[in-house]
Amino acid sequence: MTRIRIPFINAYTDRHGKQRLYFRRAGYKQIRLRGPAGSAEFMADYEAAQAGQPPRIEIAAGRTKPGTVNAAVVGYYSSLAFRSLALTTQKERRYMLERLRAEHGDKRIALLPRDVIVRLLGRMAPFAARNWLKTLRGLLQFAVAENFRADDPTQGIKLPRTKTDGFQTWTESEIAQFEAHHAPGTRPRLALTLLLYTAQRRGDVVRMGQQHIRNGALYVRQQKTGAELEIPIHSELQKSLRSVEGNLTFLITEQGRPFSPAGFGNWFRAQCDAAGLPKHCSAHGLRKAACRRLAEAGCTAHQIAAISGHASLIEVQRYTKAADQARLAREAMKKQKRTSSA
């Protein structure tokens, strides 16, 4: 029987015969994990431990001056509102808030005026401004709740909506070009198959392993939304998984360790470059290609969302609308030809 290797896990049996599991890694706090190994509870605790959860004590938290931006940010990190965010969102907001602390940490947050925020956002690119506004709004709502200040100056600030299709969807010719360069059984081909036949984000794909397979389906708990999905395994994906060794995750680095989402994104970009694909081809573009294929196969928006896990049907309906337009156009031209030949 193949044994699954799980990095950074220390296990022992106590005097009562019960197995104890701990996450131990240099630079991380030792964390107790719920068992048994491989269970849904274990994987949730393991993934949180790798991400540095539960929340760490902030450096110099006890030395921050009350009422300052520093104090508000440190307090926000420990709040339920912040801890309830997806781990990826927490990481993004930490990055922005640490920049805010570095520049304005010693200033009083009660004196942060609305016009300064408006000018700050006005100098940013549209998407960056939107992310900063969400981050500042979360911080300032916490500051109001904790009596750091009396009002939230971000209330009423609206940014112009930007029209974009986001990441570009892979075409069938681009998928074929990748498959022609990366043969079945290789890691790049496995990565493409996982992305294309699960319609998941890269952060979810890199965490998938044999422990997530039950009764011919992949059981996924999305990192970003927390949605729990049961995805039937496509025959093409099943073929690719036959060559996978018994590791914690299907996809591993050259060092035999699980990928981080960012690390996987960089590695996959290199595989696209090797196949001669244009720069717009990305892992997320394959998620969109998977949705496009489902729409072209006649799936409804609700059926597509049941696989992709989209919380809103607005994004998914774009694929079904495009597929319906193409189908109706073909049917219209067929009718026109029949009329012309009559």
pLDDT in tens, 159-171: 877 665 567 889 9
Q: Which residue is associated with the tokens 């506004």?
A: 133
Give the number of other Cβ atoms within 10 Å of residue 100's Cβ: 21
* 59 burial level (CB within 10 Å; 0-12, 13-18, 19+): exposed
Q: Is the pLDDT of residue 71 over 70?
A: yes
Which ranges of 202-312 does DSSP label H, i.e. alpha helix?
202-205, 235-241, 261-274, 283-296, 301-308
The pLDDT of residue 128 is above 80: yes
Q: How far apart are CA 342 and CA 338, in angstroms?
A: 6
Integer CA distances (angstroms), 318 to 99, 165, 300, 312, 321, in order: 37, 10, 11, 11, 5
Please confirm whether the linkage preceding 36 is cis (ω < 30° from 0): yes
pLDDT per residue over 295-336, tens digit each?
888 889 899 999 999 888 888 888 888 888 888 788 888 887
pLDDT at 268 over 80: yes
pTM of the model: 0.62
Q: Which residues contact 312 (CB under 8 A, 6 or more apart)?
A: none
CA distance 2 to 246: 6
pLDDT in tens, 170-226: 999 999 999 999 999 999 999 999 999 999 999 999 999 999 999 999 999 998 888
Tell me the backbone φ, ψ of residue 199, rounded to 5 degrees. Answer: 60, 35
Q: Please say whether the beta carbons of 327 and 233 come within 8 A.
A: no
Phi, psi angles (nearest 5°) of residue 20? -110, 135
Q: What angle do CA 37, 239, 227 make, to 5 degrees?
A: 50
What is the phi/psi pair of residue 133, to 5°?
-65, -45
Pairing of strands 228-232, 213-214: unpaired
Q: Is the pLDDT of residue 64 over 70?
A: no
The answer, yes or no, to whether residue 289 has pLDDT greater than 80, is yes
Query: Which pLDDT band, with edges at 50, 70 and 90, does 242 fall under?
Result: confident
DSSP-assigned letters across all residues of 60-109: TGGGSPTTBHHHHHHHHHHSHHHHTS-HHHHHHHHHHHHHHHHHHTTSBG
Strand partners of residue 218: 213, 231
Residue 2 has pLDDT above 70, yes or no: no
Domains and CATH numbers, the chain: 1-54 (no CATH), 61-157 (1.10.150.130), 172-328 (1.10.443.10)
pLDDT score, position 56: 47
Torsion of CA 98, 100, 106, 109, to 10 degrees: -120
d(CA 46, CA 34): 9
The whole-angstrom separation of Cα 282 and Cα 301 is 23
Burial class (CB in 10 A: 0-12, 13-18, 19+), 193: buried
